[in-house]
Amino acid sequence: MKDWSISFAGCGFMGIYYLGAISCILERFPRFIEGASKIYGCSAGALMAAILTLGIPLGECLVSSLLPKDVPFKNYTGNKQILPEDAHVRASGRLCVSLTRVPDGKNLIVSEFSSRNDLIEVYFTHLPCPQRYVDGAASDNLPRCNENNTVTFSAYAGESDICPRGSILNFHEVRFNNVSIQVNSENVYRVTSTFFPPAPEAMAEICNSGYMDALRFLKENSKNIICL
């Protein structure tokens, strides 16, 4: 694969799964991230995409994920000490976030940012204009997932490239705006955890699961990855 992109599905508080997955990839094959031409994301996935493109240390993001529940993750990451002053310059053209246009429900991918504040509005509030746009999960929760050169991440067991392993005996699946979700009890828990943050111990387990699932992906695709 000479040219590839990465896409992260929206998953709310399950975003801690991505921290585990990405820590594994950065540790074992950082070129997979460094060489990606585009990094797409929706909602919590857009936050992960921004973290990667801007080089924000994953350790700081992990700490913020374990803060008291009344301290939003987006506020901590948007702190001036964390977000580079030239963030909009570094993000433009590579970071791509999924938004939903309010009047007609159409999806929009934003990849150009005129200022640092513009970037913060798009990536951390998902509301560049409250009257015109809302979270992209309402229209496309896994942008560009159907393109052959896009490697997809999801915190739910399904057909994404990097995701929890589902049951091979379960053939029931639903799709939520392009995200494949297998119907089983484990995914019911994950979907619930999307909206209601798990306890710190459970979040640590989710993070570790992300690490192990990414490791499995790297091993199963070792021949293709060598060609990157």
* Active-site residue set: 43, 135
Residue 174 CB coordination number (10 Å): 12
Contact between 100 and 136 (Cβ < 8 Å): yes
